[in-house]
Structures are given as C-alpha cells and as structure tokens.
Structure 1
Amino acid sequence: MPKAVWNGAILAESDRTEVVENNHYFPADSINREYFKESNTHTSCPWKGQASYYTIEVDGQVNKDAAWYYPQAKDKAKNIEGYIAFWKGVKVEA
C-alpha cells in the first residue's frame, strides 16, 4: 500500500492513490492531519488548476510547502481534486 514518509512519520497511507505525472495523490481522508499546516503558497498548472500547499511539521522539523493539492481541479484533473501529493524529500513508497 502506498505511503508517504518524512522524518520518520507516516504522513499518508492509502491503497486508493491516483498517479498523475509520476506523483501519487493521496485521498484527503488518508493523511495524518496532525503533521499538516495550511500554507499561503499557491501555484498554477495549465491543465490541473490552482494548487494550494501544506507545510509539514514532524518533531519540530519543518518542511515548507512539501505537500500540495487542487481544491478545485479543472475538468481533466477532477480525479485528483482534493487529493494530496508530496515532494521536497517526502518519500513515497509504492
């Protein structure tokens, strides 16, 4: 089962991930919210829409904007709307 791990903590785990552009997107109900803090960062993708970010914090270590999601995905990306993906050293084990 795919899981996202950073700094020894399991951030998310689900057998219902969606893979887009080699990124596993995890359903919102599969993340351990205690590690996630809303970020003011936003970026735009031409076909997925506007992304919002989370900063990850585990045991006092902070990984700024290490997770992102599309709260209102464009039509071609509706399958990942609200799903969370990771980068910046977060290891996704499939």
Structure 2
Amino acid sequence: MQALVNGAVIADAAPEDIVLIEGNRYFPPASIAAGTLEKSPTPYTCPWKGVCQYFDVVTPDGTRISDGAWSYPNPYDGAEERVGHAFANFVAFAPGATFTD
C-alpha cells in the first residue's frame, strides 16, 4: 500500500505491515520516504495512546501539508495491547494523502 500526496509516494508498505487505528492507516517507520517529514511543534496528547509527534509533509514538488502526519514515539502502557499490534513511531497521514492498494 502506498500513501501519496500530489502524486508523490510518501510511504510504501505491504498491506500486512499497516496498522489500522481508529480508521487511520499507520505505516511502519521504514516505509516513509526520506525527506518527506519535518517535525512540527504542534502539541497533542491522546488520552490512551500517549504524546503525539506531528509532522509537516513535504513533497519533492514543494507541496507542504502542515501537521499532515503524526506518530506516537512512546505509546502509553496498555496502548499496544488495546490495538493488538506494536505501533511506536508508525506514521499516519491526514486528509490530503491518498492511498493505493
């Protein structure tokens, strides 16, 4: 499965490696295209997943989607059991990204 922004592939992973959480597809860290994510200072803490790290998504054509991606570097205790899969540092994408199978 691929995540794309303006036709640029920003993540590419086998479907079985994607973790679905609350309707969002989380891609493994190794599947993210180099140079497409820049840390954002936007703060957010999910009550059950933990402290979130937002990213701006930047494509080779210069398109920037502020806070267009996020991950949980250190999920709270019990979060991975609730999801049924490890998801630390997996990355999800906001609207603006499209997905292919």
Question: Normalising to structure 2: TM-score of the pair?
Answer: 0.84
Per-residue displacement from partner, 1:24-55 (whole Å, max 9, x unpaired)? 11110110022111111121111100110110
Q: Distance in 2 between matches of 1:3 and 1:76?
A: 29
1:41 equivalent to 2:42? Answer yes
Q: CA deviation at 1:61?
A: 1.4
> Corresponding residue for 2:28?
27
Question: RMSD between aligned alpha carbons?
Answer: 1.2
Unaligned residue ranges in structure 2 (runs of 5+): 81-85
Greater share of strand residues, 1 or 2?
A: 1
Question: Normalising to structure 1: TM-score of the pair?
Answer: 0.90
Unaligned residue ranges in structure 1 (runs of 5+): none
Give the % identical residues.
34
> Corresponding residue for 1:17?
18
Out of 68, 79, 99, the position equivalent to 1:92 is: 99
Q: Distance in 1 between matches of 2:97 and 2:22?
A: 16
CA contact (8 A) 1:63 1:88 kept: no
**Deviating more after overlay: 21-30 vs 32-41:** 32-41
Moved over 3 A (4+): none
Q: CA deviation at 1:66?
A: 0.2
- SS of equivalent to 1:29: helix
1:4 equivalent to 2:3? Answer yes
**Deviating more after overlay: 33-42 vs 22-31:** 33-42
Q: CA deviation at 1:89?
A: 1.0
> Corresponding residue for 1:51?
52
